[in-house]
Amino acid sequence: MTKTGGCLCGKVRYTLSADPKICVTCHCKNCQRQAGSALSIIIGVPEDAVEFTGEIKTYHDTGDSGATVRRQFCPECGSPVFTRLEQPGLMFIKAGTLDDTSGLQPAFHCYTKSAQAWTPMGDIPGFETVPDGM
């Protein structure tokens, strides 16, 4: 299975050579700010399964655990594309940058403590922060 995606202007493109390990809806305040929306839908993928072309810029953010969160985006159009945490081996891709989002189904909501009250949660489990093991 190969999935492709990229930023709004197309200067950053990527190919995934593995299926996503997880799809999550994040409601943390920093994802809200970065997305300019109520939430961010992200997929977790093995880092070694991602190849990309184009220039990316990195903003070093700090998660509520104190760990560094590297938010990577296209310097031309500003589209957020990748998020890398301190844990090696796994990275996150903004699901909206995929060329084909059909078949994606979030497994759970994280950071529901900062979710907008009007955001529908449906029947997907939710966690105040990040569940153990993620």
| Model pLDDT for residues 17-67, shown as the tens digit of each residue | 999 999 999 999 999 999 999 999 999 999 999 999 999 999 999 988 888
| pTM of the model as a whole | 0.92
Nearest residue to 73 (alpha-carbon basis) of 48, 36, 45, 101: 36
Positions of E strands within 27-104: 40-46, 50-53, 57-62, 68-73, 80-84, 90-94
